[in-house]
Structure 1
Amino acid sequence: MNMNELLLQERQSAISRKLQTHGRVLAAELAAEFGVSEDTVRRDLREMAAAGLCERVYGGALPISPAGGSLNHRAGIARDRKQSLAAAAVSQIVPGSTVFFDAGSTNLAIATALPIDMTLTAVTNAPAIAAALIEKAAVQVILIGGLIDWQVGGAIGAKAMRDMESLSPDLCILGACGIDLAAGVTVFGFEDAEFKRFAASRSRHVLVAATSDKFGTTAPHGVVAASQCQCLVVERDTDGAMLAQYRDLGCKTIVADPAA
């Protein structure tokens, strides 16, 4: 291994450590720290992104979102934390309204946590969420159809878009793989992002409930800007200074009670 290759590995290892510790890294700051050009740093970040080690964003990079795997797999991860988020999110649902539940493990927890007597028209593209809702006699369930994506756990694509086109929910409970002030809400799948974006555009309000490890991370496909999330339901350990920036954008923040 020559010296240039060694220096390259050392830089990229240092960048990986910074991403894990601090989240977003900026090319200009890294260039000054390493004593190299910004072009060199940008090349490092491109190589790291191609290897799946980070996600390139304007001016730097973000860590890859931890949210991956099938819906059933994700539903079994951090179950208690998602139940706490669900209890807080339910408080934001108005009885008698029409709510779209996007496919997602936290959204499945929200559907499960709905009071048995809450009157609601619930729309979802996720069969697992529909199954949880149909157990609640006061909830009228509308299931969006189409090809079910195994990883998303819901219907996406042309048929799902056509079904969604006839609906105007009061609230969209949007699934997210990553959330960042600059990148906004992001997900791993291109068609999933298209459907989510359309569902959000059809809805009067957007709510996102997410575990703290999703903040400051990103996935390849953008859904909506952070400013388009009227309400964020977060865990108590989510960075307070960062949440203040979301509030400056007009996002209401609800902190979940871990005891819930």
Structure 2
Amino acid sequence: MHDSTLPLARRDLIAHRLDAGQSVHSGALATEFGVSEDAIRRDLRALAQQGLCRRVYGGALPLSPASGPVAARQAEAPAQKQALAQVACGLIQPGMTLFLDTGSTVAHLAAHLPVLPDLRVITNSLPAAAVLMQRNDLSLVLIGGGVDPSTGGCTDARAQAALALYRFDLCFLGACALSQKQGLAGFDLADVDFKRQLIDRSAETALMMTTAKLETTAPYAIAGLDAVADYILAADAPAPVADALRAAGARVHLAHPDRSMT
């Protein structure tokens, strides 16, 4: 397809693919549209300036869909999140001190946390705490501070100071985006700072992630792929992403639909 005389139409087609959650590569686009890679790079720069993508070497990644308030995201892909939570429960052992981070997927884990002896749970997530406060079989601590509606939890300076008082056997991290080239990323700077400290305070870190967030990006870097020991992904996660996580030294657990909870 030769489209060199219609840069706006070409740009719209690229934007449509990014909006659909597809990553794009400048070389492949240049061949497809019959234009130079410089022309494609100009398109990607313009789209990035509009906030429609974030440029990476050789192409661009779509922005993660996880930019809205956690309350709105709670009802998205419930079966997939429950399947992820079931697999994640298998990582939890008696006597552990857990940290549950903010995020709608982690909130699903809180709703299905197993009954195990001497379990201690620390969280900055109000939805997770609201679920767990109904239970009398575990010890629960809520880290406080200013509540951010977009994350559903506390991530400000007060919360970050409180985090320094603890250490965790296992933390279930929340993240807005994951890509092979850029690692883990988020939309809120205070939340990202909190997550970086959380990784440092944890002996092991696990991450549940829905497929819609894979190969997407967000403005602020959390950590590289090697910061997480266990990734729990949906069964339809792209094989190259799972392979990249294994290459980074992580264990990858796939959650199949027939394992989702009812």
- Distance in 2 between residues matched to 1:158 and 1:112, nearest whole Å: 28
- Distance in 2 between residues matched to 1:110 and 1:30, nearest whole Å: 40
What is residue 6 of structure 2 aligned with on the other side? 7
**CA offsets 1:120-175 (integer angstroms, 9 cap, x no match):** 11111111111212222222111111111111111012111101111111112111
User: Residues 21 and 212 of structure 2 are in contact (CA less than 8 Å); yes or no, is this contact kept in structure 1?
Assistant: no
- Distance in 2 between residues matched to 1:132 and 1:58, nearest whole Å: 43
Mean CA deviation greater in 32-41 or 124-133: 32-41
User: Residues 88 and 257 of structure 1 are in contact (CA less than 8 Å); yes or no, is this contact kept in structure 2?
Assistant: no
User: Residues 116 and 137 of structure 1 are in contact (CA less than 8 Å); yes or no, is this contact kept in structure 2?
Assistant: no
Mean CA deviation greater in 115-124 or 163-172: 115-124
What is residue 129 of structure 1 aligned with on the other side? 128
User: 2:70 matched to 1:68?
Assistant: no
User: 2:160 matched to 1:187?
Assistant: no
- Distance in 2 between residues matched to 1:188 and 1:72, nearest whole Å: 16
Mean CA deviation greater in 66-75 or 33-42: 33-42
- Distance in 2 between residues matched to 1:21 and 1:29, nearest whole Å: 18
Aligned to 2:120, the other structure's residue is in SS state strand
Structure 1 unaligned residues grouped into runs of 5+: none
User: 2:48 matched to 1:85?
Assistant: no
What is residue 218 of structure 1 aligned with on the other side? 217
Query: Could you say if the C-alpha distance between residues 130 and 55 of structure 1 is closer, same or farther in structure 2, counting changes exceeding 3 Å?
Result: same
What is residue 94 of structure 2 aligned with on the other side? 95
User: Residues 84 and 256 of structure 1 are in contact (CA less than 8 Å); yes or no, is this contact kept in structure 2?
Assistant: yes
TM-score w.r.t. length of structure 1: 0.91
- Distance in 1 between residues matched to 2:45 and 2:117, nearest whole Å: 49
What is residue 165 of structure 1 aligned with on the other side? 164
What is residue 116 of structure 1 aligned with on the other side? 115
Aligned to 1:145, the other structure's residue is in SS state coil
- Distance in 2 between residues matched to 1:76 and 1:119, nearest whole Å: 31
User: Residues 124 and 155 of structure 2 are in contact (CA less than 8 Å); yes or no, is this contact kept in structure 1?
Assistant: yes
Structure 2 unaligned residues grouped into runs of 5+: none
Amino acid at match of 2:210: T
Q: Identity over aligned residues, as a percent?
A: 37
Mean CA deviation greater in 226-235 or 28-37: 28-37
Q: CA deviation at 1:73?
A: 1.3
- Distance in 1 between residues matched to 2:167 and 2:232, nearest whole Å: 22
TM-align CA RMSD = 2.1
Q: CA deviation at 1:33?
A: 4.5
Amino acid at match of 1:172: C
- Distance in 2 between residues matched to 1:217 and 1:104, nearest whole Å: 17
Amino acid at match of 1:91: G
What is residue 148 of structure 2 aligned with on the other side? 149
User: Residues 21 and 62 of structure 2 are in contact (CA less than 8 Å); yes or no, is this contact kept in structure 1?
Assistant: no
